[in-house]
């Protein structure tokens, strides 16, 4: 086999697959005598017959069957190698399409910056929208990756948690409860509450906890964005439960109440429809985000407690 060439193996594989020199010649755009000559040279290199003819039918010998299986493995490996090379070249340019839930806008840009520096030739499209629109975009396969805090239950997806997403109780800095520790969750019943709109993942998580603990709160306002809720809290209109990440760069007007059963521990997920083949750019960002999220937690500690995430109480 030392003298066998890749071209000879390709000719042999086609002839073995079709059980015909003629059809192999047609597939490879060669003449039949050329195919016969390549097979003859390969047979000489192997030292054993590769085909036998019975009547008008062409059959593989035992040596031919072994070589055919080996050829398939070789060509599969070469194809995988070529894909990897193409992928490596693809990282020099390409497009990454991300769709993220609204709250993720507080940290995803910080995790995109270093990635853009690593791969300056990649163009990034970032869509920031609500949960329902994310599901709609996913159903239409409009994006490469989706960043969500709630895994869809009506779409078959592949998902990977990459960052904790604790929900905490926000209040104005001068709130009477801001100096207390281990506040019973029932005390929240006495506070005017600002809620996200119905259907929000944050609202569902909060309502689930309140129902489990038998807590009924007085909803004073329902608002459709985290920024609107933060402004309402700063204006003294009430307290609310929001993702810890909404406070990354804005701590002067708020306090975090130390309430039992908080924070509600959730996660951010990278999500994409099951069966979707990620592009090399999307796969690169997927792997980058898993690593970068760990550094992000270490660099963005809680400004109140000096820890990234406080343990919940009883």
| Of the candidate ranges 169-178, 223-232, 240-249, 260-269, the one whose mean pLDDT is the lowest | 240-249
* pTM, entire model: 0.62
Query: What is the reported pLDDT for 312?
Result: 36
CB 260 within 8 A of CB 184: yes
Give me 224's structure tokens: 């459709």
Q: Is position 125 within any domain?
A: yes
How many structural domains are present in the chain? 3
Query: What is the reported pLDDT for 184?
Result: 94
Q: Tell whether 276 and 156 lie within a shared domain.
A: yes
Q: Tell whether 150 and 284 lie within a shared domain.
A: yes
Q: Tell whether 98 and 24 lie within a shared domain.
A: no
CA distance 115 to 112: 5
pLDDT above 70: residue 3 = yes
- Which residues constitute the domain of residue 217? 165-265
Higher pLDDT, 219 or 251: 219
Query: What is the reported pLDDT for 241?
Result: 94
Is 35 strand, coil or helix? helix
Q: Tell whether 124 and 250 lie within a shared domain.
A: no
CB 261 within 8 A of CB 209: yes
pLDDT above 80: residue 261 = yes
Split at pLDDT 50, 70, 90, the class of 60 is very high
Read off the pLDDT of each residue in 44-69 and give the average, rounded to a whole number. Answer: 93
Q: Is position 1 within any domain?
A: no
CATH number, domain containing residue 241: 3.40.190.10
Higher pLDDT, 214 or 303: 214
Q: Is position 122 within any domain?
A: yes
Q: Tell whether 150 and 287 lie within a shared domain.
A: yes
From first CA to last CA, the distance across the chain in angstroms is 71
CA 246, 251, 254, 255 torsion-angle sign: positive
pLDDT above 70: residue 233 = yes
Mind listing the pLDDT tens digit for each residue in 66-90?
999 999 899 888 877 776 776 677 6
CATH number, domain containing residue 52: 1.10.10.10
Of all helices (H) and strands (E), which one includes residue 169?
strand 167-172
């Amino acid at each position: 086999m030392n003298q066998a060439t890749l071209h000879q193996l390709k000719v042999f594989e086609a002839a073995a697959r079709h059980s015909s020199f003629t059809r192999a010649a047609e597939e490879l755009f060669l003449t039949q005598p050329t195919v016969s000559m390549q097979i003859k040279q390969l047979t000489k290199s192997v030292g054993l017959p590769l085909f036998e003819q019975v009547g008008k039918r062409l059959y593989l010998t035992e040596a031919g069957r072994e070589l055919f299986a080996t050829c398939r493995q070789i060509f599969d490996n070469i194809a995988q190698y070529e894909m990897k090379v193409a992928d490596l070249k693809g990282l020099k340019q390409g497009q990454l399409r991300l769709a993220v839930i609204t709250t993720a806008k507080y940290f995803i840009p910080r995790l995109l910056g270093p990635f853009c520096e690593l791969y300056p030739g990649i163009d990034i499209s970032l869509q920031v929208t609500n949960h329902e629109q994310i599901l709609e975009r996913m159903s239409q396969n409009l994006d490469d990756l989706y960043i969500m805090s709630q895994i869809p239950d009506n779409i078959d997806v592949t998902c990977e948690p990459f960052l904790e997403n604790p929900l905490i109780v926000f209040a104005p800095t001068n709130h009477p409860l801001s100096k207390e520790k281990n506040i019973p969750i029932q005390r929240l019943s006495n506070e005017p509450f600002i809620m996200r709109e119905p259907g929000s993942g944050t609202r569902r998580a909060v309502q689930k906890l309140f129902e489990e603990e038998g807590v009924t709160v007085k909803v004073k306002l329902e608002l459709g964005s985290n920024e609107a809720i933060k402004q309402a809290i700063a204006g003294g209109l009430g307290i609310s439960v929001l993702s810890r990440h909404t406070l990354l760069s804005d701590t002067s007007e708020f306090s975090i109440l130390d309430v039992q059963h908080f924070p509600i521990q959730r996660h951010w997920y990278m999500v994409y429809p099951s069966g979707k083949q990620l592009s090399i750019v999307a796969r690169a960002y997927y792997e980058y985000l898993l690593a970068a999220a760990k550094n992000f937690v270490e660099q963005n500690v809680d400004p109140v407690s000096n820890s990234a995430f406080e343990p919940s109480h009883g």
